[in-house]
DNA sequence: TATATTTGTTCCAACGTTTGAACAAAAGTA
DNA sequence: TACTTTTGTTCAAACGTTGGAACAAATATA
C-alpha cells in the first residue's frame, strides 16, 4: 500500500501490445493514430489510473508550463486580485503558477528569481519590491530568453512588457477633486521617488498644483515607505507646521489610514479641517469611519492583461521584441474623508 | 540573441575533457571526486553561466522539490501569514511552492489537486474550501503515496497530519468573556457545521452556555458562509426578534464586521446594547470603530508546524503512518466591541 | 615484490515522454 | 497490374541529469 509504482505510458503499451510511442501519440491526439486505438488507449489509461509524468514531457519538450509570479505580498487586495486574475487566465491555458512573495525585500526577490529560473519556468511575471533599484537580476531573466512581464511596479528601462495604471493622471484626479472641495494647501505623503510609479504620482501632484495656480511647497511633500506607521508620523509632523495643510494626498491606503487615525485622535474634523485621500482602494478604506476617498486600480483588468501579454510572448516567440506598454485609466472613488457635501 | 542554447553539464565536460557524470558528481560534491576537479568544474560552470536543469534532475531522481499549497484565498491575513511561514521554512530546505487559491470552491479545489499531482509535486499542504464535503480527491493524494498535510480547515477522517487551533476552547474563551461583561443572551453567527472547525465552535458555544447556566435557544444560532453580507443579513434578522440578544459571537471577522455595520447604522450602542466578538484577528478588526474583539489563531506558528510536518513525512518516508494532530491554544484579544469597561 | 585498498574517473543505463524517420499495409490512381 | 498516396504503427534517438558498476592508477599493506 502507499507507494505502488506509478503507471507509465509503457504499461499501457504492454496491455495493448503497442509501443510507448503509439500510446503517446494516441494520448496527444496525433492525426496518424486510428480512432480505434485512441479509444482503447484512453480506456486502459483510465483503468490503470494513468497520470502523465509532467517532468518527463517538460524535459523532452523543453517547456515546463510553469510560470513564476513575484509580488511584494499576497496579503493585499490589489495584488491578490491581480493574482486571481492571472491565475484564471493562465490555468485556462494549462499553466501552473509558482507564487513568490518578496515582502518588499530586494534580497528575497533575487533569490526567488534564481529559484524560478532553476525550476525552468516558461516565464516570469513580476511586480518589483520597493527596495529594488538594481535590475541586474531582471536582466538575467531577459538574457535567458524567457518572457518577463512587469505590472504596477515596473521599470521601463528594462524594455519589457509593462501593465499599470496612469499614476500621473491619478494625481490630477485627486488634486482636481480636492481643489473642487475648496482645498488650497494640499500636502503629499509620497512613496520613494526612485520607484517609477511614485515618481509619476509626485510629478502629477506638482503639475496639477501648478495647473490650479497653487504654490509648490517642499515642506508639504514627504517620501516614505507608506506604512500605516509612516502615515501617522508624517501626519503628526504636518500638524506641527505653522501653516497647516487643509488636505493630504497619501500615495497609499495604509499610510492614509495612519494619517486618518492621528486626526481622529486629535479631534480634527475630517474632511472639513483636513481632507484625506488615499490610493489603492483597499477594502478597509470603505470600512473605516470616515470612509476614505481613494483610487481604484482595476486590478482584475491588470491581471488579465498581464497574463495575456505573457501568452502573447510565448506564442509569438521572439517576433515583436519591442516594449509593449499598457496604461489603464485610474478611477477616483470619492468617500467621506474628502467629500464636504 | 535571446535564445542562446543553454549550457549543460555536457558543455562543461567538453571544456575540461571530462565525462558528464564526472561533472555531475563534482557539482554534487561527490566524495570520490578530487578537490582539484571540483574547483575547476565550479570555475567553468560559472564562466559558462551554467544553470542546472531542474526538470532533468527531478525526472531522474523522482523528486520535484515542488510542494503544492491549496488555500481558500491568499487575501486574508490568516492564510497569507501561514503561507509566509510555510514559504520561509520550505524555501530554506530547497523546496519551491505552488500556491493555488480555491476561493472556497470545491470544483476549483479538485482541479488544482489534479494539476498539482500532474506537476509531480512532492507533497500537498491544504486548507479545505468551505464547500468541500466530499474528500475523494484528497483520498487520491493519499493513494499516490505523497504526503498530505492539512491545516485549519481539515478533516480527521482522512487520517492525515493536521495542524489547527482549539476551536472548542476558543468558543469557551469568548462566551466566558461575554458572560463576564454581563451578557446573558448570546447569539452565534456560525459557519456551516459540516466543517469540523465550525462544528467545534458551535459545540464549544453550546457547552459554554450550559456551563454558565444560560439557556440554549436555536433561534440564536445561524449557519452561513460568514461573508460580510451574511453578517449584515443575519444581524438584521436577529434585531427583528422579539427577544433581542445582548451579544453576538460571530465565527468570522468579515461577518462580524457586517454585523457591526448594521448596528452602527441603526445607532445601537456597541458594546452596551449589543456586544460583538469576531474570529481570526484580521487586521481591519483593530482599524474599525469600535475595534472588534476577536481570536488570534497564531498563524505563523501554524505555518511553521505545517511545513515541519511535511518535511518530517518526506524525510521519514513511510515510517510513522499514524495521524499526527497538533492543536494550538487560541488567544482572545479583547477590544472595544465587547469591553464595557 | 605481490597483493589489497583507496582514489578518481569513465561507462552505461535509466527516469518517462516525445518526435521525426522509416516502414509495411491498405487504399487510391493510372 | 503497376505505381503513388494515405494510414497506422514501430524504431530510435533525444531531453539533461544521475548513480551504480567497472576500471585503471595510485597508494597502502603484507
| Interatomic CA distance for residues B11 and A329, integer angstroms | 50
Q: Does some domain include residue A60?
A: no
Nearest Cα of chain B lies from the Cα of A212 at a distance, in angstroms, of 35
Q: Does some domain include residue B341?
A: no
Read off the pLDDT of residues A174-211 as tens digits, 9 standing for 90 and up: 999 999 999 999 999 999 998 889 999 999 999 999 99
> Are A292 and A311 contained in the same domain?
no
Instruction: Identify all chain B residues contacting A54, using CB atoms and an 8 Å cutoff.
Output: 118-120
Q: Does some domain include residue B218?
A: yes
> Are B105 and B190 contained in the same domain?
no
Whole domain around residue A149: which residue ranges? Answer: 65-165+299-329
> Are A26 and A101 contained in the same domain?
no
Q: Report the pLDDT value the prediction gives residue B1, as an integer from 0 to 100.
A: 34
> Are B186 and B286 contained in the same domain?
yes
Polymer length in residues for chain A: 341
Q: A20: which nucleotide lies closest, measuring CA to C1'?
A: C17
Q: At what angle do helices A35-47 and A20-27 cross, to 10 degrees?
A: 100
**Is the bond into A17 cis (omega within 30 degrees of 0)?**
no
| Interatomic CA distance for residues B223 and B191, integer angstroms | 5
A184 CB inside 7 Å of strand D:
no
> Are B205 and B84 contained in the same domain?
no
Q: Report the pLDDT value the prediction gives residue B289, as an integer from 0 to 100.
A: 82
Q: Which nucleotides of C are covered by protein (CB under 7 A)?
A: 7-20
Query: Would you call B124 helix, strand, or coil by DSSP?
Result: strand
Q: Report the pLDDT value the prediction gives residue A1, as an integer from 0 to 100.
A: 34
| Interatomic CA distance for residues B48 and B41, integer angstroms | 10
> Are A43 and A117 contained in the same domain?
no
Average pLDDT of chain A to the nearest whole number: 92
Q: How far is CA A275 from each of CA A50, A99, A179, A297, B126, rounded to the nearest angstrom?
A: 63, 38, 11, 21, 44
Q: Does some domain include residue B4?
A: no
Closest protein residue to D12 (Cα–C1')? A21
| Interatomic CA distance for residues A20 and A280, integer angstroms | 54
> Nine-digit cell at A9?
505510458
Closest protein residue to C12 (Cα–C1')? B21
* Residue from B50, B34, B92 nearest B67 by CA: B92
Residues 44-103 on chain B lying near strand D, CB distance under 7 A = 50, 52-53, 56-57, 59-61
Q: Is B1 exposed, middle or buried (0-12, 13-18, 19+ CB in 10 A)?
A: exposed
Cβ-defined contact of B54 to A118 (cutoff 8 Å): yes
Q: A8: which nucleotide lies closest, measuring CA to C1'?
A: C16
- Is the pLDDT reported for residue A124 higher than 90? yes
Instruction: Identify all chain A residues contacting B64, using CB atoms and an 8 Å cutoff.
Output: 55
- Those residues with Cβ within 8 angstroms of residue B194's Cβ, 6 or more apart along the chain or in another chain: B133
Q: Does some domain include residue B122?
A: yes
At A59, the pLDDT band (50, 70, 90 cuts) reads very high
Classify the phi-psi angles of B18: left when phi > 0, otherwise alpha if psi is within -120 to 50, otherwise beta. Answer: beta
Q: Report the pLDDT value the prediction gives residue B319, as an integer from 0 to 100.
A: 52
Query: Would you call A76 helix, strand, or coil by DSSP?
Result: coil
Of residues B94 and A40, more confidently modeled: A40
Which segments of chain B have a pLDDT < 70? 1-4, 155-157, 317-323
Instruction: Identify all chain A residues contacting B75, using CB atoms and an 8 Å cutoff.
Output: 74-77, 80-81
Residue-wise DSSP of A186-239: EEEEE--TTSHHHHHHHHHHHHHHHHTTPPP-GGGEEE----HHHHHHHHHHHH
Q: Does some domain include residue A340?
A: no
Which residue in chain A is spatially nearest to B85 when comparing CA positions? A101
| Interatomic CA distance for residues B1 and A143, integer angstroms | 8
Instruction: Identify all chain B residues contacting A64, using CB atoms and an 8 Å cutoff.
Output: 55
Which residue in chain A is spatially nearest to B72 when comparing CA positions? A84
A119 CB inside 7 Å of strand D:
no
| Interatomic CA distance for residues B316 and A297, integer angstroms | 48
Nearest Cα of chain B lies from the Cα of A289 at a distance, in angstroms, of 7
Taking the CA of residue A19 and the C1' sugar atom of nucleotide D11, their distance in angstroms comes to: 10
Cβ-defined contact of A119 to B66 (cutoff 8 Å): yes
Q: How many domains in chain A?
A: 3
Question: Which range is most confident: A111-120, A280-289, B148-157, B321-330?
Answer: A111-120
H helix intervals, B212-333 = 228-240, 253-265, 284-287, 299-315
Helix (H) or strand (E) holding B79: helix B77-92
Residue-wise DSSP of A143-159: HHT--EEEESS--GGG-
Q: What is the pTM of this model?
A: 0.85
Instruction: Identify all chain A residues contacting B54, using CB atoms and an 8 Å cutoff.
Output: 118-120
A37 CB inside 7 Å of strand D:
yes
Q: Out of A38-42, A153-157, A311-315, pick the least confident.
A: A153-157
> Are A82 and A33 contained in the same domain?
no
> Are A219 and A279 contained in the same domain?
yes
Please give the angle made by the CA atoms of A283, A289 and A295, to the nearest 5 degrees.
40
Q: Which nucleotides of D are covered by protein (CB under 7 A)?
A: 7-20
Interface test with B, best of A56, A99, A110 (most B CBs within 10 A): A99
Residues 224-243 on chain A lying near strand D, CB distance under 7 A = none
Q: Does some domain include residue A262?
A: yes
Q: Is B66 exposed, middle or buried (0-12, 13-18, 19+ CB in 10 A)?
A: buried
Taking the CA of residue A34 and the C1' sugar atom of nucleotide D1, their distance in angstroms comes to: 30
Residue pair B162/B154 in contact (Cβ under 8 Å)? The answer is: yes
Read off the pLDDT of residues A69-101 as tens digits, 9 standing for 90 and up: 999 988 888 999 999 999 999 999 989 998 889
B20 CB inside 7 Å of strand D:
yes
| Interatomic CA distance for residues A192 and A223, integer angstroms | 5
| Interatomic CA distance for residues A288 and A284, integer angstroms | 6
> Are B177 and B273 contained in the same domain?
yes
Read off the pLDDT of residues A245-266 as tens digits, 9 standing for 90 and up: 999 999 999 999 999 999 999 9
Q: Does some domain include residue A3?
A: no
Closest protein residue to C16 (Cα–C1')? A56
Residue pair A107/A50 in contact (Cβ under 8 Å)? The answer is: no
- Those residues with Cβ within 8 angstroms of residue A180's Cβ, 6 or more apart along the chain or in another chain: none
> Are A286 and A242 contained in the same domain?
yes
CATH number, position A266: 3.40.50.2300
B265 to chain A, any CB pair closer than 8 A? The answer is: no
> Are A87 and A69 contained in the same domain?
yes
Rounded to the nearest angstrom, the gap between the alpha carbon of residue A259 and the centroid of all alpha carbons in its chain is 25
Cβ-defined contact of B257 to A287 (cutoff 8 Å): yes
Cβ-defined contact of A101 to B119 (cutoff 8 Å): no
> Are A156 and A303 contained in the same domain?
yes
Q: Out of A52-61, A94-103, A214-223, pick the least confident.
A: A94-103
- Is the pLDDT reported for residue A268 higher than 90? yes
Q: How many CB atoms lie within 10 A of CB A196?
A: 18
Q: At what angle do helices B9-16 and B35-47 cross, to 10 degrees?
A: 120
B52 to chain A, any CB pair closer than 8 A? The answer is: yes
Specify the DSSP class assigned to residue B193: T
Rounded to the nearest angstrom, the gap between the alpha carbon of residue A220 and the centroid of all alpha carbons in its chain is 29
Taking the CA of residue A258 and the C1' sugar atom of nucleotide C16, their distance in angstroms comes to: 56
Which chain B residues in 187-216 lie under 8 Å from chain A, judged by CB atoms? none
Residue pair A90/A310 in contact (Cβ under 8 Å)? The answer is: yes
| Interatomic CA distance for residues A65 and A75, integer angstroms | 26
Amino acid at each position: 500500500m502507499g507507494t505502488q509504482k506509478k503507471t507509465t505510458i509503457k504499461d499501457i503499451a504492454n496491455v495493448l501490445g503497442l509501443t510507448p510511442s503509439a500510446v503517446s501519440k494516441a494520448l496527444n491526439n496525433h492525426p496518424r493514430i486510428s480512432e480505434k486505438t485512441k479509444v482503447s488507449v484512453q480506456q486502459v489509461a483510465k483503468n490503470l489510473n494513468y497520470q502523465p509524468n509532467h517532468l518527463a514531457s517538460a524535459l523532452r519538450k523543453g517547456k515546463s508550463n510553469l510560470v513564476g509570479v513575484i509580488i511584494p505580498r499576497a496579503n493585499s487586495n490589489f495584488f491578490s486580485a491581480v493574482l486571481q486574475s492571472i491565475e484564471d487566465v493562465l490555468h485556462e491555458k494549462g499553466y501552473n503558477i509558482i507564487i513568490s512573495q518578496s515582502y518588499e525585500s530586494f534580497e528575497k526577490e533575487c533569490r526567488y528569481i534564481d529559484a524560478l529560473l532553476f525550476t525552468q519556468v516558461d516565464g516570469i511575471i513580476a511586480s518589483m519590491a520597493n527596495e529594488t533599484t538594481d535590475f541586474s537580476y531582471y536582466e538575467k531573466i531577459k538574457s535567458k530568453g524567457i518572457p518577463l512581464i512587469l505590472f504596477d511596479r515596473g521599470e521601463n528601462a528594462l524594455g519589457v512588457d509593462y501593465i499599470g495604471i496612469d499614476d500621473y493622471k491619478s494625481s490630477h484626479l485627486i488634486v482636481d477633486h480636492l481643489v473642487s472641495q475648496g482645498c488650497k494647501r494640499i500636502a503629499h505623503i509620497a512613496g520613494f521617488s526612485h520607484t517609477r510609479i511614485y515618481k509619476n504620482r509626485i510629478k502629477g501632484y506638482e503639475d496639477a498644483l501648478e495647473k490650479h495656480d497653487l504654490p509648490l511647497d517642499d515642506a508639504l511633500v514627504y517620501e516614505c515607505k507608506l506604512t500605516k506607521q509612516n502615515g501617522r508620523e508624517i501626519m503628526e509632523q504636518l500638524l506641527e507646521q505653522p501653516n497647516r495643510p487643509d488636505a493630504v494626498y497619501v500615495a497609499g491606503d495604509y499610510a492614509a489610514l495612519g494619517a486618518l487615525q492621528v486626526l481622529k485622535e486629535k479631534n480634527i474634523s475630517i474632511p472639513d479641517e483636513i481632507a484625506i485621500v488615499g490610493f489603492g482602494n483597499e477594502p478597509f478604506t470603505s470600512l473605516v469611519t470616515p470612509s476614505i476617498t481613494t483610487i481604484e486600480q482595476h486590478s482584475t483588468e491588470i491581471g488579465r492583461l498581464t497574463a495575456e501579454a505573457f501568452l502573447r510572448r510565448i506564442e509569438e516567440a521572439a517576433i515583436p521584441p519591442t516594449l509593449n506598454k499598457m496604461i489603464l485609466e485610474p478611477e477616483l472613488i470619492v468617500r467621506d474623508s474628502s467629500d464636504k457635501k
